[in-house]
Amino acid sequence: MAPLDLALRQELLALQDAYISTLDTDALEQWPDMFIEDCLYEIIPKENVDQNLPAPVIYCDSKKMLRDRVVSLRHANIFQPVVYRHFISGLSMQSVENNTVAMQSSYLVINTSQLGQSVVYQTGRYDDVVLRTSDGWRFKSKRAIYDTSRIQTALAIPI
Amino acid sequence: MAPLDLALRQELLALQDAYISTLDTDALEQWPDMFIEDCLYEIIPKENVDQNLPAPVIYCDSKKMLRDRVVSLRHANIFQPVVYRHFISGLSMQSVENNTVAMQSSYLVINTSQLGQSVVYQTGRYDDVVLRTSDGWRFKSKRAIYDTSRIQTALAIPI
Amino acid sequence: MAPLDLALRQELLALQDAYISTLDTDALEQWPDMFIEDCLYEIIPKENVDQNLPAPVIYCDSKKMLRDRVVSLRHANIFQPVVYRHFISGLSMQSVENNTVAMQSSYLVINTSQLGQSVVYQTGRYDDVVLRTSDGWRFKSKRAIYDTSRIQTALAIPI
């Protein structure tokens, strides 16, 4: 890998770490700000992606929708105080243009129930397009393509 | 992220990797040397931290106590030859002063029992303060704040 | 850590990420090309390594054997469409010579069955020797030393 690519890789890894840290510290109000206004965010089963059948479990196509989702999570939903932790590995860049990078990484989410037991909640692949803005890197699109189908579809939190 | 922060981040990630590598290769005798003399090390449930109730499962406030702990693990305790593996993700820096950094990261510990089955043992958050010394980065304080409450409290090994 | 070591560390982390990304995106045909011609690849239980008893579950000592393995996986084997995801942490370098590095890291493999349930499939330690070639870093030897003994020995995919 060329030195420039390695430097870029560090920035992208820092972005991914910031993303999951925002989720895992329950700083959900800051989560939409990691996206550009005109963004795409979806959670979709791998099976559907493989068969080219769009049917995301969650679909948001603007930062406003992400904000609405957070408000609804905070105010409307009744859910157990479950703890989630995200782990990322295997980042690879698919394409690098001037200020836009397409990249993938594997994610693992462990959750701990109110009873205090920790189990694998979900694994999958992040399929991301990120943009370098004057405020730093932001997500133009983020697709969480999950392997695990035995999850509750009433997903409480962003992945 | 500024280039200087990215460079610092690499050093801290290397420190975290060295820390878990020391534990996972059973090089426990080197573990205390990753701390300064006047240090704090504790393992404490998230529940207690959230409610501001100090009641750590393990509490050591000097490097000497860490060394004693290793000696006791080596000589006194009878425990099964269980294998632990640590995984870290989501490092974020909370504050950076000249030679001191406060940082957090998520950890996952998988253990493999004598029967050879691997399960999620514990997840949680490292809440660390590290100091740049003439010998490199050292932990001034390390708190392992665990989510999982269904763990044996007679914790055999450091987290 | 010296700046040069940190730069080297980034290259090795990028290599490890590329390795697991190749496996997890099912790009198996590219997997042998991450090794030099005269290579060693094995999957072996930790128990055997600890007792110095060689008895790997998989043993390949040339790139040709790796290629044969991929062909056989593609054509001969009947196995369920299981999804694997690899996660790596705790990279440490044991020795660094001009163009050769011995390094270790912990790995975790999660698999998702056809029924859609994700569980810990295997944990272990990569014990690697890598070589800087004109095409970039390549594996001279890669040993996947696994902790988990309760796995099917008819391992379908490379680790």
Cβ atoms of A128 and A142 closer than 8 Å: yes
Over range C23-48, report the average pLDDT.
Answer: 95
Please give the average per-residue pLDDT across A35-50, as a whole number: 94
Cβ-Cβ contacts under 8 Å, A104 against chain C: 21, 25
- Which chain A residue has its CA at the smallest distance from B13's CA? A14
3-state secondary structure of C92: strand
Which chain C positions have a beta carbon within 8 Å of A89's beta carbon? 17, 20, 85-89
Tally Cβ neighbours within 10 Å of residue A53.
Answer: 10
Q: What is the mean pLDDT of residues B122-141?
A: 97
pLDDT on residue C156: 64
Count chain A–chain C contacts defined by CB atoms under 8 A: 75
Give the 3-state secondary structure of residue A49.
helix
The complex scores an ipTM of 0.93
- C106 close contact with A: CB closer than 8 A: no
CB C86 within 8 A of CB C23: yes
CA-based Rg of chain C, rounded to a whole angstrom? 16
Residue owning tokens 């010998």: B135
**Terminal Cα distance for chain A, rounded:** 30
Predicted local distance difference test score (pLDDT) of residue B87: 98
Are residues A90 and C20, on separate chains, in Cβ contact within 8 Å?
A: yes
Q: Taking CB atoms and an 8 Å cutoff, what residues of chain B touch C1?
A: 11, 14, 136
The structure's pTM equals 0.95
**B31, HSE (Cβ side, Cα atoms, 13 Å):** 25
Select the residue of A17, A20, A116 nearest B150 (Cβ to Cβ): A116
Secondary structure letter of residue A59 according to DSSP: E
- Interface check for C106 against chain B (CB to CB < 8 A): the answer is yes
| Residue C10 at interface with chain A, using a CB cutoff of 8 Å | yes
Strand partners for C139? C35, C130
Q: What residue type is assigned to position B36 of the chain?
A: I
Listed residue (A28, A11, A19, A2) closest to A133, CA to CA? A11
Question: Nearest 5°: CA angle at B124, between B121 and A70?
Answer: 125
The pLDDT tens digits of the residues spanning B1-50 come to: 677 799 999 999 999 999 999 999 999 999 999 999 999 999 999 989 98
Cα–Cα distance, C67 to C71 (Å, whole number): 6
- Considering only CB atoms, C136 lies closest to which of A1, A89, A124, namely A1
Check if the beta carbon of residue C31 is closer than 8 Å to that of residue C23: yes
Q: What one-letter code names the amino acid at A40?
A: L
Which residues face A131 on adjacent strands? A100, A138
Strands B118-133 and B100-112, how do they pair?
antiparallel
Encoded amino acid at C126, one letter: Y
Cα C20 to Cα C157: distance, rounded to the nearest angstrom: 12
pLDDT-above-90 percentage for chain A: 72
Residue A57 to residue A44: CA distance in whole angstroms: 6
What are B96-101's contacts with CB under 8 Å, separation 24+?
A: B96/B5, B96/B8, B99/B131, B99/B132, B100/B129, B100/B130, B100/B131, B100/B132, B100/B140, B101/B8, B101/B12, B101/B129, B101/B130
Residue B114 in this model has a pLDDT that exceeds 90: no
Specify the DSSP class assigned to residue C21: H
Q: Which residue has the tokens 């504050």?
A: B95
- Is C123's CB within 8 Å of B116's CB? no
Does position C38 have pLDDT exceeding 70, yes or no? yes
pLDDT above 80 (res C18): yes
How does A24-36 read in b/e, with b if 16+ C-beta sit within 10 Å? beeebeebbebbb
Please report the pLDDT score of residue A29 as a whole number.
96
Q: Does B118 touch chain C (CB under 8 A)?
A: yes
Per the listing, tokens 């958050």 go with B125
